[in-house]
Structure formats: C-alpha cells, structure tokens
Amino acid sequence: MSDFDADIPEVRAVSETGVPIRGNDIDTDQIIPARFMKVVTFDGLGQFAFFDVRYDDDDNQKAHPMNEERFNEANVMVVNDNFGCGSSREHAPQALMRWGIDAFIGESFAEIFAGNCLALGMPTVTADSETIADLQDWVEANPDGDIDIDVENETVTYGGQTVDVDVDDAQRQALVEGIWDTTALMSANSGEISATAASLPYLK
C-alpha cells in the first residue's frame, strides 16, 4: 500500500477481451490525428481514435479491427513494436482510453507514450514478437475470450495458457501501490508541498 493519502486505485490486474492492432511503428498521429486535438477537454475524443485509418475521405468505414462489431467491447489492445512513437501527445492514450482501452500488450512502446499511459493507470505490458503474434492470432479467433493481465506477477493468461511478460519496474510499483496519478498525489499532499516550497530560497 502507498503511504500517500490519495484516493488512487491500485491496478494489480486487468481482465478483459482484446483487439489486435497489427503493425510496427504506429505513431501518435495515426492514433489521434492532429486536427482532432483542438479540444478544451478530452471528452468525446475516443470516437476519433485511429480516424484516418478507420474512415475514408467521405467518412465511410474502412476495414479495421476497431470498426468490427466483434471487437467493440474490447479493453485490451494487442500491438507490435514501437507503438505510440512520434510526437509526445497525451491525446493518444486519452483517445484510446475513451474508446474503451484499459491496458496494452505489445512488443515495445515509445517511452513517452508509455509514460502518458501510466499517468492514466493504463499498463503497457511487453513480450517478445512470437508471443505477441500468437496472442494477436488468438484474439482474432476468440474475440470474446478474456485476457488476464497480472501486472504484479508479470504474466498474461489466455486460452488456458499463461505466458511471462515484462512490466517496467517503476510502472509496476506505481500501478500496484496506487501511486500512478501524480496530480492526485500532489493534491493530497498539498500541505507538504507548500512547506517544501516555502523552505526553498529561490522560491522566496
């Protein structure tokens, strides 16, 4: 348990159905095109996730897993290498979270994207390419099948088998101990922060 007095949920595990998003180096501009970032809040951003990949110029749906009814309730996104690369826009994980995603399993994630996911309490779990390919194939064949992510013990269970995965040590600690929301932590400890600030000579 955390020593901080803040109402931040612990994220020890995520158990939901999956959606496979195949391809390496999927950047944040693909995840949320820049023209949709002119918003005051993040509310409603989910409908624009992967918009240019999912729709043509006339807003007709193209072939994409997120347009398929069988994946409409998915909460775990299974991706490949270097997911979330490109510009460091926090709108990318915000859009995916508002579409319904709670966690990611992939070969690797861009560092800033993973950090932005952590700030939302969304695990970014990694595994080797063969493990990811097998999981993506299984999700395709079993869209209603649960994927159980054990953040604390670094395992993923699906289809009757359990595989080892990696969770960054700092991310795992923050999620498991419920200290991932830095804004809430600062608010809960505003008195200590003010006292520290008052003791700093360059802030006087």
Q: How many domains, in total, are found in the chain?
A: 1
| CA 89/CA 185 separation, integer angstroms | 22
- For residue 4, the model assigns a pLDDT of 43
Tokens for 60, please give them.
């007709």
Considering the domain boundaries, does residue 92 fall inside one? yes
CATH number for the domain that contains residue 79: 3.20.19.10
Considering the domain boundaries, does residue 19 fall inside one? yes
Rounded to two decimals, the pTM is 0.85
User: CB–CB of 66/98 below 8 Å?
Assistant: no
Considering the domain boundaries, does residue 58 fall inside one? yes
Considering the domain boundaries, does residue 129 fall inside one? yes
The better pLDDT of the pair 10, 88 is held by 10
Considering the domain boundaries, does residue 204 fall inside one? no
Is the confidence at residue 189, as pLDDT, over 60? no
- For residue 187, the model assigns a pLDDT of 46
Rg of the chain over Cα atoms, rounded to whole angstroms, equals 18
Is the confidence at residue 192, as pLDDT, over 80? no
Reported as a single tens digit per residue, the pLDDT across 13-43 is: 999 999 999 999 999 999 999 888 777 667 8
Domain that holds residue 86: 13-199
User: CB–CB of 175/118 below 8 Å?
Assistant: yes
Considering the domain boundaries, does residue 24 fall inside one? yes
Bridge-based pairing of strands 124-126 and 146-150 is unpaired
